[in-house]
């Protein structure tokens, strides 16, 4: 039985090794980077995604339209999507749980005519679909923040140092340092200091 379970792990390990190579080619990575088999990395150059030392990445990181994603040291991002069209900065010692999405943009324009033009263009991947056509604003997640599972962080938000975002929260406005925030939209429910 032990032999059979180790056979199933080999493809996952190989896939994780492949994903780590992808990160090393598409991002600037610090020492001791751990990448899961579900992770991904897409950027226009290696300088657009910068990952610090001792990080664990299980999410898909996408920097488009000249954007930058910066991740500090000793940060774990379990799974989800980090999508930047301008700038997403994640500090040191941050815990980002499973299925968390962080966007500095709306992905698509809010104008109905522009969206109609996109869908009628004949391609779902052309220049009309670029995130640069949507509303955008930088996201900052300061040091020692914990973001709970299935949360979404939206454009223009800063989450202050030492804060906690509860599971299933949608953060639409900035959260002060050392706060606990939860809900949709997320609201501060407790101060930690």
Q: How many C-beta atoms surround the C-beta of residue 141 within 10 A? A: 27
174-193 confidence digits (pLDDT tens):
999 999 999 999 999 999 98
Q: What pLDDT is attached to residue 110?
A: 84
Q: What is the mean pLDDT of residues 79-85?
A: 95
pTM confidence score? 0.88
Residue 19: is its pLDDT beyond 90? no
Q: What is the mean pLDDT of residues 132-153?
A: 95
Q: How far apart are the first and last CA of the chain?
A: 51
CB 73 within 8 A of CB 124: no
pLDDT, residue 8, reads 52
Confidence of residue 13 (pLDDT cuts 50, 70, 90): low
Which tens digits make up the pLDDT trace of 104-123? 999 888 888 988 888 888 87
Alpha-carbon distance 107 to 97, whole Å? 22
pLDDT score of 1 more than 50: no
| Number of residues written out for the chain | 193
Looking at the annotation, which residues are catalytic? Answer: 108
Task: Give the mean model confidence (pLDDT) for residues 163-170.
Answer: 98
Position 44 scores a pLDDT of: 79
């Amino acid at each position: 039985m032990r032999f059979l379970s180790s056979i199933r792990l080999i493809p996952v390990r190989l896939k994780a090794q492949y994903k780590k190579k992808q990160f090393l080619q598409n991002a600037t990575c610090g020492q001791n980077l751990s990448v899961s088999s579900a992770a991904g990395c897409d950027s226009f150059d290696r300088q657009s995604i910068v990952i610090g030392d001792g990080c664990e990445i299980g999410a898909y990181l996408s920097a488009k339209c000249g954007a930058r994603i910066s991740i500090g040291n000793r940060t774990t991002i379990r799974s989800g999507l980090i999508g930047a069209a301008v700038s997403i900065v994640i500090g040191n010692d941050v815990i980002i749980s499973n299925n968390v999405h962080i966007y500095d943009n709306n992905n698509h324009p809010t104008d109905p005519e522009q969206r109609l033009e996109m869908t009628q263009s004949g391609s779902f991947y052309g220049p009309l679909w670029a995130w640069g056509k949507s509303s955008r604003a930088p996201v900052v997640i300061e040091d020692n923040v914990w973001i709970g599972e299935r949360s979404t962080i939206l454009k223009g938000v800063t989450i202050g140092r030492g804060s906690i975002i509860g599971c299933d929260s949608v953060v639409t406005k900035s959260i002060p340092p050392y706060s606990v925030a939860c809900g949709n939209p997320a609201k501060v429910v407790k101060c930690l200091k």
